[in-house]
Amino acid sequence: MPLEQKYLDLIRGAVPTVDDPATLDRLSHLYDLVVETNQKINITSLVSPIDVSLKHLIDSLTLATIPEVKKCLDAGYECCDIGCGGGFPGLPVACAYPTLPLTMIDSTAKKIAALKENAEALSLECVSPVSGRGEDLAAAKRGQYREAYRLCFSRAVARLPVLCELCLPFVSVGGLFAAMKGMQTGEEVRESLRAIPMLGGKIVDVREVKVDLDFALSMDFNDEEKDKIREFSSASRYTVLIEKNKKTLDVYPRKWAQMTKKPL
Q: Which residues in this chain contact ligand SAM in the complex, by CB under 6 A? A: 83-85, 88, 105-108, 111, 133-135, 155-157, 166, 256
Q: Which residue is nearest to ligand SAM (CB)?
A: 85
- Minimum separation from the CB atom of position 4 to ligand SAM (A): 23
**In the sheet where 102-106 sits, what is the strand order?**
127-131, 102-106, 79-82, 149-155, 171-181, 238-244, 201-208
Beta strand segments in the chain, E:
79-82, 102-106, 127-131, 149-155, 171-181, 201-208, 238-244
Supply φ then ψ for residue 175, to 5 degrees: -90, -175
Would you say 78 or 81 has its CB closer to ligand SAM? 81
- Minimum separation from the CB atom of position 227 to ligand SAM (A): 22
Q: What residues contact 55, with CB distance under 8 A and at least 6 apart?
A: 46, 232
Please count the other Cβ atoms lying within 10 Å of the Cβ belonging to residue 151: 26
Would you say 8 or 112 has its CB closer to ligand SAM? 112
Strands 171-181 and 102-106: unpaired
Asked if 89 contacts 57 with a C-beta cutoff of 8 angstroms, the reply is no
Would you say 157 or 178 has its CB closer to ligand SAM? 157
- Minimum separation from the CB atom of position 137 to ligand SAM (A): 8
Please count the other Cβ atoms lying within 10 Å of the Cβ belonging to residue 219: 15
- By CB neighbour count within 10 A (0-12 exposed, 13-18 middle, 19+ buried), where does 6 fall? middle
Asked if 102 contacts 90 with a C-beta cutoff of 8 angstroms, the reply is yes
3-state secondary structure of 21: helix
- Minimum separation from the CB atom of position 7 to ligand SAM (A): 18
- Minimum separation from the CB atom of position 165 to ligand SAM (A): 10
Would you say 169 or 221 has its CB closer to ligand SAM? 169
Q: How far apart are CA 152 and CA 164, in angstroms?
A: 11
Would you say 142 or 202 has its CB closer to ligand SAM? 142
3-state secondary structure of 123: coil
Would you say 70 or 133 has its CB closer to ligand SAM? 133
- Minimum separation from the CB atom of position 194 to ligand SAM (A): 21
- Minimum separation from the CB atom of position 253 to ligand SAM (A): 9
Would you say 106 or 225 has its CB closer to ligand SAM? 106
